[in-house]
Structures are given as structure tokens and as C-alpha cells.
Amino acid sequence: MFYSDEGANYLVQYAKSMVDEIAKNKKIPNDFISEQYLIFAGMLAYYGFDHVQEIYDVFKKTAFVSNTGPVETCSNGAFSPAYCQTEAVPLPGNKFSIKKTIYHTHFRGENYGHFVEVLCHEINHCINSIRHPFCRRNSLPVYRNGINVSYLDSGKEEAKYLEEAINTIQTGEIMKKIMMLGDYNIKDPTVRSSIRSLANYKVGDLGLGYQTITPIVYPLYCDSEFNYLIKEERISANIRDITDNFDSRVGRDSFYELAEAVDDAWQNRNVSQAKRAYQLVRQYHR
Ligand SMILES: [Zn+2]
């Protein structure tokens, strides 16, 4: 994406000017400004200027809160330093608007790179949900978080942890773009100092977290056809294109079979379902 100091500085200045412009008019909490510069630049480097509107809208509409209150725990009881709270606000005419707040809780000894990566993870879910967050499935209202769909009436969810695994691996790719800025002579002192703080951070190919399911999903993620769909159609809200593509290569309804197997593998540590998920991935990626 950037091949020279000039290119890297242009990207940084562009990202910084967007974040600063948004901050001037934002009426909701807006912490983590230095990290927003880095992540905006990383998102632009990864998704390209074709998707600048989605990126801009998320930074504008999402509240960022440095949390000092109670700490959220994951479904498996683990402490989660960052999470996104989503609120569906009913509007007249059976419509909804959505409010998102990303919280991060600093913990003692937290690595700076870890902090940026967990924040980037939450923002990436939001970027991949900004277009058409609401739709109907079997005439029931649902909202989506990437490829994860939640039914507003029953609270039932689909593809929750497949979304997590994909988002985790993809966040690793975006972090690598941010880390690449360290190879250039960045002029802006705030960004230069943040990049220095990241200097010794190691980004894994599988990303950070969800360690028992990311290796299962990784070969699928790396398939060039699937990778293109996940990058372009998830952000554009064409989820059907992703599921249909998978089903056309593996079999009818196999995408949701994969999603259920991954959910079960993560939530219940179900080894046979982990194997089933891996078989389906291998059937796609052969
Ligand atoms: Zn997540």
C-alpha cells in the first residue's frame, strides 16, 4: 500500500485529519484518539480508499470509552479487556437505529500492542456491520454483526463464533498494516510515538484470542476466493453471496452447518464438532 516515506506519511495525515474532524463534532464519548489515528490508517491500508465511507461512518457513530467501571466477562468466563455494547433503539414505523459503544478496560501490565489489537478487533466488527445492520430473516427482524445474525424477538444468534474467528484473523492482517508504518519515517510526533510503543509487538497470523477455533477457520480464510468474499461482501452486507458460495462448493446449507459446528466447538469445547467444522473447511478448500 505504501512504498515510500511520502506514501506512509500521506496515509497517516489523511487518517489523522479524518479522526480530528470527526472529534470536533462528536457529541458522544470519544477516548483513545492516538489509537484511533493508527487504526483508521490501518483500516484504510487494508480495505482501501473504496471503503473510506464505511470506515469514516464507524469512527463518527461509535462511542469510545476508557472504562473504569465494572468489567465484562466473555461467555466462557474469561476477562475481556474490550467489548462493544450494541443497543437497538426502536423508531416509529417498526424501524430501529443502532447505538454502539466500545469499552476498553486497562489492566495492570497490559501490553500496548495488545490494547491496540483488541480495540481494532471491536472496530472491525463495526465496520463490517455499518451497511444494512437490520434485515429480515423468515420475516423476523434481525440485526447483524458481520456475518453473525441476532433475532431481535428471541435473542437467538447465528454464526456468532464463526464471525469471531474470521474477525480475529482479519484483525491480525490489519495490525500488520499498522505495524508496517514502523518501517517508515513518520513525521507526525503523536503517531510516531504510538508506533514506537508498538515496536516489539508480535502479530500472529491467527490474530489474538479465540485460540481453539481460529486454526480451524484459517485455511478457509486463506482461500483466495473466500478471502475476497469475506473482505468485500461482508463489509458491503452481501452475506448471501458468502453463504451461497460456500454452499455451492460444499453442499446445501453447509455454511450454517459450519457456523453451528464452530459455535459448539467454542462454547462447549466440543471436539467432534471442531472436527466436523474442519472437515467442512477442507471440503471447501481442496
Ligand atoms: Zn469479537
| Rounded distance from Cα 63 to ligand 1 centre (Å) | 17
Interval between CA 151 and ligand 1 midpoint (Å) = 18
Q: What is the pLDDT of residues 147-203, one digit of tens each?
A: 999 998 898 999 999 999 999 999 999 999 999 999 999 999 999 999 999 999 999
Asked if 257 contacts 284 with a C-beta cutoff of 8 angstroms, the reply is no
Say how many Å lie between the CA of residue 119 and the centre of ligand 1. Answer: 10
Please give the distance, rounded to the nearest whole angstrom, from the Cα atom of residue 218 to the centre of ligand 1. 16
Cβ(145)–Cβ(155) under 8 Å? no
For ligand 1, the distance from its centroid to the CA atom of residue 9, given in whole angstroms, is 30
**Residue pair 33/19 in contact by the 8 Å Cβ criterion:** yes
Is the per-residue pLDDT at 138 higher than 60?
yes
150 CA from centroid of ligand 1 (Å): 14
Residue among 215, 234, 42, 220 nearest 125 (CA): 234
| pLDDT tens readout for residues 55-94 | 999 999 999 999 876 665 544 445 678 999 988 888 898 7
Residue 89's pLDDT is 85
pTM, 2 dp: 0.94
Q: Are 174 and 43 in contact (CB under 8 A)?
A: yes
CA of 246 to the centre of ligand 1 (A): 22
85 C-alpha vs ligand 1 centroid, how far in Å? Answer: 11
Distance (angstroms) between ligand 1 centre and the Cα of 5 equals 33
DSSP state of 93: T
Domain boundaries, the chain: 5-207
Cα(127) to centroid of ligand 1, in Å? Answer: 12
* CA separation for the pair 82, 23 (Å, rounded): 21
Rounded CA-CA distance 34/221 in Å is 30
Indicate if the pLDDT at residue 211 is higher than 50.
yes
Choose the most confident range, by mean pLDDT, from 49-58, 71-80, 102-111: 49-58
